[in-house]
């Protein structure tokens, strides 16, 4: 099995561990993680035009609109390190962003190769978020806030899986277990689809 470019999306509810697993999988396959939050922060820190727009919206307490979010991600995907693949985390998060990403990738004669879904029961996500809040001393992670975040995921993000499911690229992985166990399941699922780990991994 020879390595070839792999373009991935990792999806899961808050508390599913997708951020941690995303980094591990990106390292295993020799591709960059493109996290919406990280890209926003980098643009704001660098003072780019996109960054200034994002900062003014966030400072006003608003969500970054889909069009601007997509523009920021497109700018990141156009960088040289993403030519041979990438792992998206946090984008697309709704159906409108799926269309934006489709249009961009089609323009490059590319497409997503696999969508990794970390399946974690709601009660497990809630327990993990409570544990994280306690460890980090985050008093804002109340039951109401956690429930609201999970509802946004279920109502806005989960529907994109229906779109990708019809394309046959969804790989659902049991997200309950140790970090190594879950990472192993993801790698196995990708290798079963013909994607080889990076020789440097």
Q: Report pLDDT for 21.
A: 95
d(CA 43, CA 197) in angstroms, rounded, equals: 30
Question: Per CATH, which fold does 6-34+85-192 belong to?
Answer: Rossmann fold (3.40.50)
d(CA 25, CA 192) in angstroms, rounded, equals: 15
Residue of 4, 52, 108, 138 marked active site: 138
Residue of 74, 122, 149, 197 marked active site: 149
Q: Report pLDDT for 134.
A: 85
CA angle, residues 135, 138, 143, in degrees to nearest 5: 100
Residue 165 has pLDDT above 90, yes or no: yes
Is 149 noted as a catalytic residue in this protein?
A: yes
Is 41 noted as a catalytic residue in this protein?
A: no
Lowest mean pLDDT among 80-89, 129-138, 150-159: 129-138
Task: List pLDDT tens digits, range 18-49.
Answer: 999 999 999 999 999 999 989 999 999 999 99
Residue of 4, 52, 131, 132 marked active site: 132
Measured from the Cβ of residue 200, the count of other Cβ atoms closer than 10 Å reads 8
Q: Report pLDDT for 1.
A: 42
Give Rg (Cα) of the chain.
17
pTM metric for this prediction: 0.89
Task: Decide: 35 and 196 in contact? Cβ < 8 Å.
Answer: no
d(CA 186, CA 118) in angstroms, rounded, equals: 9
Is 132 noted as a catalytic residue in this protein?
A: yes
Residue of 18, 24, 76, 185 marked active site: 18
């Amino acid at each position: 099995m020879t390595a070839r470019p792999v373009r991935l999306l990792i999806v899961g509810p808050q508390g599913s561990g997708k951020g941690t697993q995303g980094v591990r999988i990106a390292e295993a396959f020799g591709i960059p993680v493109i996290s919406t939050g990280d890209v926003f922060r980098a643009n704001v820190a660098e003072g780019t035009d996109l960054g200034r727009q994002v900062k003014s919206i966030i400072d006003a307490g608003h969500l970054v609109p889909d069009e601007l979010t997509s523009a920021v991600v497109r700018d990141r995907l156009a960088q040289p390190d993403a030519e041979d693949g990438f792992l998206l985390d946090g984008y697309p998060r709704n159906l409108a962003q799926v269309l934006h990403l489709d249009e961009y990738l089609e323009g490059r004669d590319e497409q997503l190769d696999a969508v990794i879904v970390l399946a974690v029961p709601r009660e497990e996500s809630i327990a993990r978020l409570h544990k994280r809040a306690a460890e980090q001393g985050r008093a804002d992670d109340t039951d109401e806030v956690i429930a609201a975040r999970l509802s946004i995921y279920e109502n806005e993000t989960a529907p994109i899986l229906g779109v990708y499911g019809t394309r046959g690229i969804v790989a659902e992985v049991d997200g309950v277990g140790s970090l190594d166990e879950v990472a192993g399941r993801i790698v196995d699922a990708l290798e079963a689809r013909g994607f080889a780990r990076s020789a440097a991994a």
